[in-house]
A and B are shown apart, each in its own frame.
Chain A
Amino acid sequence: MSSRLAKGGRLIDRGAMRDFTFNGKRMKGMEGDTLASALLANDQVMMGRSFKYHRPRGVVASGAEEPNALMGIGTDGHFEPNQRATTQELFEGLTAESQNHWPSLEFDVGAVNAKLSRFFPAGFYYKTFLWPRSFWEKVYEPIVRQAAGLGRAPKDRDADTYEHLYTFADVLVIGGGVAGLTAALEAGRAGAKVLVLEQTAHWGGRAPVDGGEIGGVSAEEHIAALVTELEGLPNVTLRLRCMGAGVYDHGYILGYERLTDHIADKSGPRHRLWRIRAAQVITATGAIERPLSFAGNDLPGVMLASAVRDYVVNFGVAPGDRVAVVTNNDDAYRTAFAMKEAGLDVAVILDAREAGGGALAIAAREAGIRVEPGRAVAKVLGGKRVTGVEICAQAGSGSTIETIPCDVVAMSGGWSPVVHLWSHCGGKLYWDTEHAMFRPDPEKAPTSHDGRAFVRCAGTANGEMLLSQVLKDAAAQGHAAALAAGFEGTPSGLPEVSEVAEIPLAPVWIMPAGASYDKRSKAWLDFQNDVKVSDIQLAAQEGYESVEHAKRYTTLGMATDQGKLSNINGLAILSDSLNEAIPQVGTTTFRPPYTPISMGAIAGQGRGETFQPLRRTPLHAWHEAHGVQWEPVGHWRRPYAFPQAGESTHEAVNREITTVREKVGLLDASTLGKIVVKGPDAGRFLDMLYTNMMSTLKPGRCRYGLMCNENGFLIDDGVVARIDENTFLCHTTTGGADTIHAHMEEWLQTEWWDMQVHVFNVTEQYGQIGVVGPLARQLLELLGTAEISKDELPFLGWADRLVGGIPCRLYRISFSGELSYELRVPAGQTLALWEALMEAGKALGVAPYGTEALHVLRAEKGFIMIGDETDGTVTPQDLNLHWAVSKKKEDFLGKRGQLRSHLSSPDRWKLVGLETLDGMVLEDGAYILDAGQNDRGQRNMQGRITSSYYSPTLGRGIAMALLKHGPDRMGETVQVTKLGAEPVAAKVVDPVFYDKDGEKQDV
């Protein structure tokens, strides 16, 4: 059984017991435990079931590479699935649940899949669900999805908060093991600004467990001294629980800091995403031990040799009472010593190498441990956990020589440097045959903007396996990184290292070498995705020769652990099957993040109220307090209508329209773009931007203008006011404010750089209030506004006036056809002016109106709306706006485009009005039918509805449409589509439905 040892455990506090629950069962752990170590201490070896066959699975590893022990952690809004028990620190009250089983972990119906595994070979889905095609979406996919999947998705909204942090460093060190700390100190001493990220809660990495003496003290003491010195350097920042997640172009690195995952108090931000710019990056990310591929290597109790000794040394937990060590290298012998030292049994060390191990093997024998060279595991015995191993010769086909009882199998197939971060941004690898591993190729490093390397690996991550070499390499890399970042330090002397020499490993990719199909189909490569040796071999046999194809066909390395344990073993099997060398087959691509990071961390503050910026006019709060119904317009909210008590939205819109036509209405027009164009060439500049002539406009006057893009299509419209000889104010649409400003700047900066013009976007400096209706002048006069009669301030004029004592610029412009003044007022006084207008207008029956009333009012007048009548393919001529396109000007943006044959064709759809025969409202966006069908068998169309409303003024529906030869077809009846019904007849009419001569606005 697995249990807590009576003593030991360098990371736990035996005085601090922690209660937690696993699958609803109360258990006890200790401060400093991981969830995995605490579960093992409670004899909970089985921690989940596999993805495909639902096989019982126990913890394999002790760190970020863990494929099996995935848990749903937390409850309600704090619940998250697929969390690794090996990286989850224990805290009081933690709740965890295992995954992939029903009804329970112990008894699982899905385990029947394992019995049927013969029928689920590689490519099973591709092969099985091909036919009939129609079944995929409706039948197969739902069933497959139901059966598959890891943890359950959270049901509640995420209750946690997250944030980002931008930071900058000369040298970023990823990994706080002995190599990372050594490199950091070297760079720090040179004066570089250094940031060190360590994904776990402790400094030092594996060195304290794996032993060795540095400078005459233990590795652990040496590490403590390194940390103390680093903490004393003001130019060095150290962060624990912060993983280097990804390395990107130009020295951009993401760090993933976990702030509350390890504590019960969840009040602060849960994760912080560090967005780092570093001149130089050192990845000191260590190495990951490889499993061995033998039959039954996935049974609970089969673990990595390093993990077994981690649990013993770090947490004082025995993964079992009796261990069988199986290895192809010297390092795994350390596990036997750790077990022995903890008073546990070592049943046997099976060393697959014919000649056995080096100095450590001798020491093992001297300690009385049974060592069997040339031996392998034939098969692991047990069901829900290991009960023993059958041993065989590694060289043979696996005939059992002996059965040895044990409850833990500690396996080691050698080590793979963690080259992920090196590879993220293009670093290449080479195959080191002696150590059977891919190593970073320093000749092919990731390069930055200047073509020079910006990432270097240090220590074990660089393929250095001996402590003395690790320290030497780390110091050299730290020095080199500082130098590359512009800091010249004096290399520190290296401390004396005392270590045991090791002899090379023997590559073992399948155990035993001649394993039968039966054994190979029980030898797991990818534990999480249930990929076995036999699956890769089948893929190779079926022609999936590229490692990328074989990966996708078998799903090897495609689980949440991204194949940290399986990739190298899998590709070795593939290369063996293809009879090619490993480097020729190559690796799959390492992509960020190193381990999964939360979506919340990526979103940061982009959630809830700060999901997106909401733009508010100076009157936003007033609208909200007066029952507004909002309409989103870009990031703005504009009032759609102001329904009163008992009024529907439609009724409100009709009332607002009638108020404007008969009395006076107020419109918040603050969102309209206001761009000041200033300079001696302002007129010339605007003549190029607008289709009509602006330079001839007199100061004090306004003119409606159209803007086209280079292709001749209409992009914006608005009223231009000339302020003085050198100054114009251009109104744009709400959505056009920023884009037209940018459009102007672009032309000024890139093409017309010689024009003497400046543009200022003053949209937000001012509020703008439309005072609209026959009583508009009366209302302004009630507020003491002087000199606004028809003669003093005629239609299409502007003037500065005080309204209610507030300084305003009054534009006599009208988008409704009524007498109208648009009042430009400083933003900070807009509310005061609005309230004064509302108060003074009471007696006149004033009411605010929204965008829908605005739309209907303009449609009654036949005024076009950018975005309704235009869609990026419509010209001014299409909208009968020839009068606003200058014939005199030599050039303007869009002129040449409009001359092209298709744009000048007489067959284009052109603007008309439509009236239904029965007064009903046509559907917006409906098509106008034509006779016959096109070559695809679709009904021919000859036009479409661009705007359609109910006009309370006229008491019936009105519409604007683009119709082929439209203006020539007045009085004709056309058929307009209606969803789910017969087409509707409509009469082609003039688009100006109301006050065609414009008498009402010019009073």
Chain B
Amino acid sequence: MSDLTGPAPVTALGGAAFEGYVRVAEEPQRAMFTLRGDLSATAMKNAATGLAGVDMPGQGQAALNAERMVAWMSPDELLLTLPWAEHDKACAQLDATLGDPMLNWGDVSQARAHFSLSGPDGAVREVAAKLAPVDFSPAAFPQGSFRRSRMNQVAAAFWCPAPGRIEVICFRSVADYAFRLLSDAARPGSEVGLYA
């Protein structure tokens, strides 16, 4: 059954944004799928890369093409994101491609809250570094990096789609907590200058 039926889904915070020394914004709804199974299986690779139009990412990496992303989550898990408009088509295609019963997928589009940090590259990195035990330096976290980590007390995954931008997802129920943390970390007057 199509999730696109009925009223358009709302995101957890309705697109909240905070203008700090970097901009913190809740991102619009995106299609998001968890893919589980043997990452070297052809069907698995075809499912992910075919929909996203990117190559398979390595460990700690996300292969990106605008809203399309395949990210390495674990040795048997990928995260696939697509524009929301392609959600239904993607569900059908995943069903079709992942015929092997040990290649599985789940829809997690609405299980997550999704934020972006944008602004000067160094500032974006240090705001993230206030919250997660991740080396966000340009050398250690270049474009295309992906880390499963935490934001203070909640699970979170971070990736760098482009210089001056870091995106992060967490569970939907803690969206408000995450947004407050990110906004506080981006508060003007709390600049560190770590990556300046």
A pairs with B: yes
Interface residue from B11, B153, B181, B190 paired with A268 (Cβ < 8 Å): B190
User: With contacts A610-B184, A615-B173, A758-B36 known, is A764 near B194, CB below 8 A?
Assistant: no
Which of chain B's residues 131-180 have a Cβ closer than 8 Å to chain A?
A: 131-135, 137, 139-140, 152-154, 171-177, 180
Contacts of A267 in B (CB 8 A): 189
The CA of A805 and the CA of B1, in the complex, are separated in Å by 12
Question: Nearest chain-A residue to B137 (Cβ)?
Answer: A168
The CA of A604 and the CA of B174, in the complex, are separated in Å by 18
A627 at the B interface (CB under 8 A): no
The CA of A81 and the CA of B189, in the complex, are separated in Å by 25
Question: Nearest chain-A residue to B191 (Cβ)?
Answer: A268
B97 at the A interface (CB under 8 A): no
Question: Nearest chain-B residue to A725 (Cβ)?
Answer: B101
Q: Please determine whether B110 and A828 come into contact, CB atoms closer than 8 angstroms.
A: yes
Question: Nearest chain-A residue to B14 (Cβ)?
Answer: A621
Q: Please determine whether B153 and A612 come into contact, CB atoms closer than 8 angstroms.
A: yes
The CA of A613 and the CA of B7, in the complex, are separated in Å by 29
B19 at the A interface (CB under 8 A): no
Interface residue from A168, A680, A756 paired with B140 (Cβ < 8 Å): A168
Which of chain A's residues 749-782 have a Cβ closer than 8 Å to chain B?
A: 756, 758, 760, 762-766
Q: Please determine whether A166 and B134 come into contact, CB atoms closer than 8 angstroms.
A: yes
A21 at the B interface (CB under 8 A): no
Interface residue from A269, A610, A678, A829 paired with B181 (Cβ < 8 Å): A610
A217 at the B interface (CB under 8 A): no
The CA of A168 and the CA of B132, in the complex, are separated in Å by 12
The CA of A807 and the CA of B8, in the complex, are separated in Å by 12
Least CB distance, A812 to chain B, in whole angstroms: 18
User: With contacts A167-B194, A605-B152, A679-B104 known, is A614 near B176, CB below 8 A?
Assistant: yes
A997 at the B interface (CB under 8 A): no
B92 at the A interface (CB under 8 A): no
Least CB distance, A18 to chain B, in whole angstroms: 22
Contacts of B5 in A (CB 8 A): 802, 805-807
Interface residue SS majority, chain A: mixed
A363 at the B interface (CB under 8 A): no
User: With contacts A166-B134, A605-B152, A616-B176 known, is A765 near B10, CB below 8 A?
Assistant: no
Q: Please determine whether A764 and B11 come into contact, CB atoms closer than 8 angstroms.
A: no
A800 at the B interface (CB under 8 A): yes
B15 at the A interface (CB under 8 A): no
Which of chain A's residues 606-621 have a Cβ closer than 8 Å to chain B?
A: 606, 609-610, 612-618
User: With contacts A166-B134, A832-B7 known, is A764 near B112, CB below 8 A?
Assistant: yes
A165 at the B interface (CB under 8 A): yes
B126 at the A interface (CB under 8 A): yes
Least CB distance, B123 to chain A, in whole angstroms: 13
Contacts of B176 in A (CB 8 A): 614, 616
Q: Please determine whether A613 and B140 come into contact, CB atoms closer than 8 angstroms.
A: no
Q: Please determine whether A636 and B190 come into contact, CB atoms closer than 8 angstroms.
A: no
A826 at the B interface (CB under 8 A): yes
Q: Please determine whether B133 and A166 come into contact, CB atoms closer than 8 angstroms.
A: yes
Q: Please determine whether B184 and A161 come into contact, CB atoms closer than 8 angstroms.
A: yes
Question: Nearest chain-B residue to A676 (Cβ)?
Answer: B106
Interface residue from A606, A635, A804 paired with B6 (Cβ < 8 Å): A804
Least CB distance, A509 to chain B, in whole angstroms: 46
The CA of A613 and the CA of B129, in the complex, are separated in Å by 19
Which of chain A's residues 405-447 have a Cβ closer than 8 Å to chain B?
A: none
Contacts of B133 in A (CB 8 A): 166, 275
Interface residue from B7, B111, B126, B181 paired with A765 (Cβ < 8 Å): B111
B50 at the A interface (CB under 8 A): no
A237 at the B interface (CB under 8 A): yes
Least CB distance, A738 to chain B, in whole angstroms: 10
The CA of A268 and the CA of B101, in the complex, are separated in Å by 55
Q: Please determine whether A613 and B154 come into contact, CB atoms closer than 8 angstroms.
A: yes
The CA of A806 and the CA of B1, in the complex, are separated in Å by 10
Contacts of A168 in B (CB 8 A): 135, 137, 140
Least CB distance, B125 to chain A, in whole angstroms: 10
Q: Please determine whether A166 and B132 come into contact, CB atoms closer than 8 angstroms.
A: yes
Q: Please determine whether B180 and A610 come into contact, CB atoms closer than 8 angstroms.
A: yes
Question: Nearest chain-A residue to B151 (Cβ)?
Answer: A613
The CA of A680 and the CA of B99, in the complex, are separated in Å by 12
Question: Nearest chain-A residue to B112 (Cβ)?
Answer: A764
A726 at the B interface (CB under 8 A): yes
Least CB distance, A843 to chain B, in whole angstroms: 22
User: With contacts A826-B110, A831-B10 known, is A269 near B190, CB below 8 A?
Assistant: yes
Contacts of B153 in A (CB 8 A): 606, 612-613
User: With contacts A163-B190, A166-B134, A610-B184 known, is A679 near B102, CB below 8 A?
Assistant: yes
User: With contacts A166-B133, A756-B102 known, is A613 near B174, CB below 8 A?
Assistant: yes
A272 at the B interface (CB under 8 A): yes
Q: Please determine whether B189 and A765 come into contact, CB atoms closer than 8 angstroms.
A: no
The CA of A739 and the CA of B196, in the complex, are separated in Å by 42
A827 at the B interface (CB under 8 A): yes
A164 at the B interface (CB under 8 A): yes
User: With contacts A165-B129, A610-B184, A807-B2 known, is A828 near B9, CB below 8 A?
Assistant: yes
User: With contacts A605-B184, A616-B176 known, is A167 near B2, CB below 8 A?
Assistant: no
Contacts of B6 in A (CB 8 A): 802, 804-807, 829, 832
Contacts of A166 in B (CB 8 A): 129-130, 132-135
Contacts of B185 in A (CB 8 A): 163, 605
Contacts of A726 in B (CB 8 A): 101
Contacts of B8 in A (CB 8 A): 828
Contacts of A760 in B (CB 8 A): 34, 36, 104, 106, 108
User: With contacts A168-B135, A610-B177, A679-B101 known, is A765 near B184, CB below 8 A?
Assistant: no
Contacts of A829 in B (CB 8 A): 3, 6-7, 9-10
Q: Please determine whether B102 and A680 come into contact, CB atoms closer than 8 angstroms.
A: yes
B61 at the A interface (CB under 8 A): no
Q: Please determine whether B101 and A807 come into contact, CB atoms closer than 8 angstroms.
A: no
Which of chain A's residues 972-999 have a Cβ closer than 8 Å to chain B?
A: none
Q: Please determine whether A828 and B184 come into contact, CB atoms closer than 8 angstroms.
A: no
The CA of A178 and the CA of B104, in the complex, are separated in Å by 61
The CA of A622 and the CA of B108, in the complex, are separated in Å by 23
User: With contacts A161-B184, A829-B6 known, is A268 near B130, CB below 8 A?
Assistant: no
Contacts of A764 in B (CB 8 A): 110-112, 171-173
The CA of A167 and the CA of B141, in the complex, are separated in Å by 12
The CA of A355 and the CA of B101, in the complex, are separated in Å by 91
Interface residue from A604, A612, A765 paired with B108 (Cβ < 8 Å): A765
The CA of A829 and the CA of B102, in the complex, are separated in Å by 30
Q: Please determine whether B111 and A762 come into contact, CB atoms closer than 8 angstroms.
A: yes
B29 at the A interface (CB under 8 A): yes
Least CB distance, A321 to chain B, in whole angstroms: 45
Which of chain A's residues 651-708 have a Cβ closer than 8 Å to chain B?
A: 676, 678-680
Question: Nearest chain-B residue to A604 (Cβ)?
Answer: B152
B109 at the A interface (CB under 8 A): yes
What are 7 A-B interface contacts by the 8 Å CB criterion? A165-B194, A613-B153, A802-B5, A805-B5, A828-B110, A829-B6, A829-B10
Shortest Cβ-Cβ A-B pairs, 10 listed: A828-B9, A268-B189, A806-B6, A615-B173, A765-B111, A760-B106, A827-B110, A764-B111, A613-B177, A168-B135
Q: Measuring CB to CB, which residues of chain A are less than 8 angstroms from any residue of chain B?
A: 161, 163-168, 193, 237, 267-269, 272, 275, 277, 604-606, 609-610, 612-618, 635-636, 676, 678-680, 726, 756, 758, 760, 762-766, 800, 802, 804-807, 826-829, 831-832
Additional A-B contacts beyond A163-B130, A163-B185, A167-B135 (8; CB < 8 A): A275-B133, A613-B152, A635-B174, A636-B173, A762-B111, A764-B110, A806-B6, A831-B10
